[in-house]
Structure 1
Amino acid sequence: MNWLGSDYNLMTNAIGRTVASQKVIANNIANVDTPGYKAKRLVFNDVLDTQMKLSLKRHTTIESNGSIVDRSSNMRNDGNGVDIDLEMSELSRNQIEYEALVEQLNRKYAGLESVIRGGR
């Protein structure tokens, strides 16, 4: 029996997903000036099939770490496919999602603490 509840597992998994996404986004930003670098996105198994059907066509590649490389959008003559504005907006969105999830998890812990202390 999981005394923390199923929502605890969902929240911790979602937090892990945001941390992994943060690493991929940071890597894209770090390579904004690398010739030939293609921007990557992290896709998770439960949405992979849907994403592949909806948006992934012949110009994308799935790497072994689960990230997807979009080979169709060369923004510059040097072949670099990083859109810094998109990366910064994704970074902000991901940060907001992370903070919201951590806040929910903190509230869950505060509720458990209240129960343990007898409502005091």
Structure 2
Amino acid sequence: MKLFSGTINNLENSLNYSNLKQKVIAQNIANVDTPNYKSKEVLKTSFQSELKSAMQAFKTDTRHYDFTNASARTSFPVVQNSNSSYNHNGNSVDIDKEMAELAENQIYYNALIERINGKFNSLRTVISGGK
């Protein structure tokens, strides 16, 4: 029996994803007026496909998830959006889209922090004997 489930590792991996996404969004916003700057994004489908494949690998119950393989992935691909141009100067940053993604990522990050705090509070309760 494992003392710690892989949930903490998965939450850490998710926080790494959110952190990288925050950096990429901030970089896009900082370069909103830079001529010929092409916006970047973290590939969300890569993270979701990794999660889905890991969920399918653990077949005892569809609600169960084996986190051991998901924690091994620590990098997420960042791609440059070179297909479009929103400004006359060749810049492809859409500030409204970036601000919406920033708000969405902040909500995601806060939810992860709440969840990991809950896990640590549960561990503290177990260690202290329920007091």
**Is the pair's TM-score, using the shorter chain for normalization, greater than 0.5?**
yes
Return the alpha-carbon distance in structure 2 between the equivalents of residues 98 and 13 of structure 1: 12
Equivalent of 1:115 in 109, 121, 126 = 126
Query: Identity of aligned pairs, percent?
Result: 42
Return 5+ residue gaps in structure 2 as ranges: 50-75
Structure 2 partner of 1:37 = 37
Pairwise mapping of residues 1-120 of structure 1 onto structure 2 (< 5 A)? Answer: 3-43=3-43, 46-47=46-47, 66-120=77-131
Q: Could you list the runs of 4 or more consecutive aligned residues of structure 1 that deviate by over 6 angstroms after TM superposition?
A: none
Pick which of 110-119 and 38-47 moved more: 38-47
Number of aligned positions between the proteins: 105
CA apart distance, 1:48? 8.9
Change in Cα spacing, 1:67 to 1:12, as seen in structure 2 (3 Å) is same
CA distance in 2 between partners of 1:10 and 1:48 (Å): 12
What is the TM-score of this pair, normalised by structure 2? Answer: 0.74
For 1:62-90, what per-residue CA distance to the aligned partner results, in whole angstroms no more than 9, with x for missing partners? xxx82111112101110000000000000
Instruction: Using structure 1 for the length normalisation, give the TM-score.
Output: 0.80
- Structure 1 unaligned runs (5+)? 50-64
Q: Over aligned residue pairs, what C-alpha RMSD do you find? A: 2.0
